[in-house]
Copies of this chain bind each other. A is one copy, B any other.
Amino acid sequence: MQKEILIKFGSKVKEFRLDRNLSQEELAYKANLHRTYIGMIERGEKNITLLNIEKIAKALAINIHELFQNIGE
């Protein structure tokens, strides 16, 4: 099920975002992305690109590989 990775990635983004008590809007602002885009990423509805993965990781103040820990095994 190819899309599984998008869903797992989205859950990780949401997990880190909530850990930092950020709303989708606040994360979007920090990452310089649109709020609705963050929502779609978290629901696994977007095949995110590497440049946007980096933006989100930086906004969450984590390394990119942390977003992929235990997913895509």
Q: Which residues of B contact A36 (CB under 8 A)?
A: none
Q: Please give the count of copies of this chain that the complex contains.
A: 2
With beta carbons under 8 angstroms apart, the residue of B57, B71, B72, B73 that contacts A72 is B57
Looking at chain A, what size class is its interface with the partner chain? 20 to 34
What 1/0 mask marks residues of chain A from 30 to 52 whose CB sits below 8 Å from any chain B CB?
00000000000000000111110
Q: Given A68-B64, A72-B63, A51 and B47 touching (CB < 8 A)?
A: yes
Please, how many angstroms separate the alpha-carbon atoms of A69 and B47 in the complex? 21
* The residue from B48, B49, B50, B68 contacting A65, defined by CB atoms under 8 A apart: B68
A59 to chain B, nearest CB (A): 13
User: How does the 8 Å CB contact mask read for A6-44 relative to B, with 1 for contact and 0 for none?
Assistant: 100100000000000000000000000000000000000
